[in-house]
Structure 1
Amino acid sequence: KLTYEEAVEETFGLFHWLLLVVCGWANASDAVEILCVSFLLPTARCDLKLSSSDMGLLTASIFLMMVGGYMWGYLADQRGRRRVLVVSLTVNGLFGGLASFASWFWLFLLLRFISGIVGGSIPVIFSYFSEFMPRLRRGAMISALATFWMAGNILAALAWLVIPSTWAHFFLNGLDFQSWRVFVLLCSVPSITSALLFKILMPESPKFLMEGLRPIKQMFRSPLKSRSIALLVIFYCISFYYGLWMWFPELFARVEDGGSPCANVSRPSPNHNQTCYPVKTAYMEGFVIAASNLPGNIFTILMMDRTGGKMLLCSLLVSSLSVFFIYVVQTKAQSLVLSCIFSGVSVIAWNALDVVGTELFPTQLSSALGFFTGVGRVAAITGNVVFGKLVDTNCAVPVLLVSALLLTGGLVALLLPQTKQTELT
């Protein structure tokens, strides 16, 4: 007889690469749904006449996946991974697409809120994927899966091909369907197609079919208690930086007038005589930042099984330093370079967290990863609201707070146990 790990090792082959593509596309869809809002901010700000506080609420709304992450994780432990992925991805894409037809801000915000609160299936994707992976390949394969977030980031950054373009602007039943609305509609496609791929091509997780549910309260009992508390802190610290990340396109749009991202402390509200479309360079800089993830992704794929996720999580210390220097730079070029460094280094920590979060807990506790993701979403919401409130008056506070929290997360990561090439339980 073979153990589960031995059986998975014996069957590794073409199916696992197909699984990587399907799960990766679902991971990319999550990135597109989250990051598309940041790229439409400069234009939607004008069209919907948004204040900075409104934009903070809008960017925060998508992170309400915190509820969905735990809910879908719990249901996946009871009803199966595949079924939950099909339903959650479908609903997420459906409401994300419907938001493009909203004619006023609060309806748009409500639909993005529903998309966020019903979405959040990413913890299930990683649990589902890891249950098919053999022990000696798991670190590299999960790192490869995490790399698809970069692909989604790049897809979202292709906003510069749509939003500033006149071809994507038309009228639909009296609604001025501007190009940013076309962009929102296009961003719902990855979620819908991911749901179809899981429905048509993918089987249920064999490990789920073999074993039953374990209660979520196990997380805070020995021997899982100490690692749960450490991961809770790390997820909060690393996710708060989404407040900065989601505001990158808006900050770069402000830099177009000269000076540092925090130089314009009293940007006036848009009026009907202003163009709603920043120059393409503001979007192309977001594309460059997204592409700068590539070296970090390649590094984690090559090194994860050699060093283990714990050591790579310490890259948060470098991320902290790069965010600090984003605050002190004075030119557009310096801001772009440091933003790319920050992006390339922070993705190492994110990929490591995906591996460590999967390996530190029994796979039947996919709701545990959903819980930690939920904590991260709380941090992301907080970060976006803080940026929205302070970006016009005291930009230094949220930027330096991101730097301090990343430093804290890197130090707490040292307390985690090493999980290199461990067997799933």
Structure 2
Amino acid sequence: MYRHVHTGDFEAQEPLLTGKYPEPGERDSDEGEIIFDRSMSKIPCDAGGNAKRRLTYEEAVEEAGFGSFHWLLLLACGWANASDAVEILCVSFLLPTARCDLLLSSSDMGLLTASIFLGMMVGGYMWGYLADQRGRRRVLVVSLTVNGVFGGLASVAPKFWLFLLLRFVSGIGVGGSIPVIFSYFSEFMPRLRRGAMISALATFWMAGNILAAGLAWLVIPRTWAHFSVGRLDFQSWRLFVVLCSIPSLTSALLFRLLMPESPKFLMEAGREKEAIGVFHVMFKLNMWGKGKSFPEFGLCTSSKQRGEPEESRTCGSRTERLACVFKKALLPVKQMFNGPLKSRSIALLIVFYCISFGYYGLWMWFPALFERMESGGGGSPCANTSVLSPLLNQSCYPVKTAVYMEGFIIAASNLPGNIFTILMIDRLGGKTLLSCSLLVSSLSVFLIYVVQTKVQSLAVSCVFSGVSVITWNALDVLGTELYPTQLRSSALGFFTGVGRVAAITGNVAFGRLVDTNCAVPVLLVSALLLTGGLVALVLPQSRQTELT
């Protein structure tokens, strides 16, 4: 961990064990592997005869201090993260009632839950690449707006196909904001606080989960929200969809009006004055009322401006230009799977697939599975074959409020996992938490299959929820620390895209099999989580690593 040397001094943090920061390119003490090659950053740091001292990114972040700015940033980014959770998970809560109004079979419900993940798969890498080229803040504003606008429009879709299409477009927006939020947030954080603060940011996913479950519990069972507009029968679940779009729209407005661009991105783009301006804002808020003046310094920035279409200018026809753009867009993926990044990229690809198939495949179907238990009088949703009747044969009204209460309890069970991650991520490291939590998640999912009572099933589901959130938090930290700035958002976008493919296949598998033999997808989830936990052991440890 770390200690403070001179309380209140913004330069006064040093590692407790070594008393110094590791040099660039230093080997990780746990793995004996070079985490980064500093040459990839391409940032010269030569004063060039200028008397003004020049600082690296990590040194400038330390100069700016830690305080009010970072807590405000946590709230802003946290609200954006929560809005994504609300938009994704709202579908699972509206399924028990929307299936009647839209005449959905279990296979249709699988397609509906998969639609937003298909959009996220399309948007994830695209937005991540644009964030690495054009800036994090701009991409966040646009993607959050797309998410909120099309998510809200879905509430008035009269037909299933239109609802499906609008949810897909909303997913494109969600796919951009999730990876970019963590890249953006991490690039403001001092190295020694980064792991805990990213874990704190990840807890807002739980807040969004609880918000979605609470809104569903309060709104969907209410009959007063039912009225007709022309041929549209506006049921309470449609009002729920409208309310779920508000967090994304307000978050986009917040970033548009108040938040600065990432200083790390600005430094990589060679925009020194703008980066210093951001550090000045950070310093001013962090040192409010302390009577300190902003220190004069220059920055070690890249000499190459981003966004220069050099490759496009060398291409002649429109087809050749498109080919050049496509080739350039895929360059980050090529860099991820070559050289020193190859082994960790392959491992993360497998881990993302396993956890996404398991988490989203199971989580999106929890309300439907609990409704089956309600209709069958209790018991395991898979072990008790009497409750495996198709949902179309079950009544939607009156709404069973217990379904939403149980969803709320499962969402709240994330809290212990989030607290544990915040306290232990810097002590144990992301790799250890990732592997252990995946293995425990695998066991808990297997127990969902074998339990025999409703109370037991709810308890095991809460354990799965609380432990799996540790996995996601650890992945958020590892994903930001294992890749350099020019690849960070692209890498996170790529891996979240892979995760969306897994989420789609998981939801389609549940939709196809839940009426006939739900034991198959449940046991498959358990096996995949076990595989992910074992593969995570090959990842490098990245505890308190410098960002490059």
Question: In which range does the TM-score fall when normalised by the shorter chain?
Answer: over 0.9
Tell me the residue number matched to 2:196. 140
Q: Secondary structure at the match of 1:176?
A: strand
Does 1:222 pair with 2:339?
Answer: yes
Corresponding residue number in structure 1 for 2:60? 7
User: What is the TM-score when the length of structure 2 is the normalising length?
Assistant: 0.76
The one-letter amino acid paired with 1:306 is R
On the 8 A contact 1:253/1:278 being kept in 2, the answer is: no
Please give the residue correspondences for 1:10-409 in structure 2 after superposition, counting only pairs within 5 Å: 10-11=63-64, 12-64=66-118, 65-120=120-175, 121-158=177-214, 159-212=216-269, 215-216=331-332, 217-241=334-358, 242-256=360-374, 257-258=376-377, 259-262=379-382, 263=384, 264-267=387-390, 269-270=392-393, 274-314=395-435, 315-365=437-487, 366-409=489-532
Percent identity over paired residues: 83
Report if the CA contact (8 A) 2:106-2:390 is conserved: no
Task: Label 1:275 to 1:420 Cα distance change in 2 as closer, same or farther (>3 A).
Answer: closer
Partner of 2:392, secondary structure, is coil
For residues 334-380 of structure 1, what are the alpha-carbon distances to aligned partners after superposition, in whole Å with 9 as ceiling and x for unaligned?
Answer: 11000000000110111000000110001221111100000000000
Judge conservation of contact 1:42–1:277 (CA < 8 Å) in 2. no
1:24-71 residue CA offsets vs partner (Å, 9 max, x unmatched): 111011100110000001001122111000000000001120110100
Question: Aligned to 2:233, what secondary structure does the other structure show?
Answer: strand
Cα pair 1:67 1:118 within 8 Å, conserved: no
| Aligned-residue offset at 1:307 | 1.1
Alpha-carbon distance between aligned partners in 2 of 1:4 and 1:249, rounded to the nearest angstrom:
46
CA RMSD, 1 decimal: 1.3
> How far, CA to CA, are the matches of 1:97 and 1:225 in structure 2?
40
**Cα distance change on mapping 1:268 and 1:373 into 2, 3 Å:** closer
Moved more, 253-262 or 380-389: 253-262
Pick closer, same or farther for the CA change 1:270–1:98 going to 2, 3 Å: farther
Paired letter, 1:86: V
Q: Which moved more, 1:90-99 or 1:116-125?
A: 116-125
Q: CA deviation at 1:384?
A: 0.1
> SS at 1:132's partner residue?
coil
Q: CA deviation at 1:118?
A: 3.8
Structure 1, unmatched stretches of 5+, are none
- The offset of 1:3, in angstroms, is 2.3
Per-residue CA deviation, residues 56-104 of structure 1 (Å, 9 max, x unaligned), is: 0000001120110100001111111100100010011100000000111
Deviations 1:319-340 (A, max 9, x none): 0000000011111101100000
Deviation at 1:209, TM superposition (A): 0.8
Unaligned 5+ runs, structure 2: 1-52, 270-305, 307-327
Q: Distance in 1 between matches of 2:232 and 2:63?
A: 57
Listed one character per residue, the Cα deviations across residues 99-153 of structure 1 (whole Å, up to 9, x for unaligned) are 0001111111111111113431211110000000010000000000000000000
Q: How many residues align?
A: 423
Alpha-carbon contact 1:46-1:276 (below 8 Å) kept? no
More helix by share: 1
Amino acid at match of 1:10: E
- Give 1:131's aligned amino acid: E
Greater relative contact order (CA < 8 Å, ≥ 6 in sequence): 1
Calculate the TM-score normalised by the size of structure 1: 0.97
* Contact 2:352/2:498, CA 8 A, preserved across alignment: yes
Shift of 1:279: 1.3
Residue 398 of structure 1 aligns to a residue whose secondary structure is: helix
Give the match's secondary structure for 2:339: coil
Is the alpha carbon distance of 1:346 and 1:268 closer, same or farther for their aligned partners in structure 2, counting shifts above 3 Å?
closer
Question: Is the 1:95–1:114 Cα contact (8 Å) retained in structure 2?
Answer: yes
* Letter matched to residue 221 of structure 1: N
Larger radius of gyration: 2
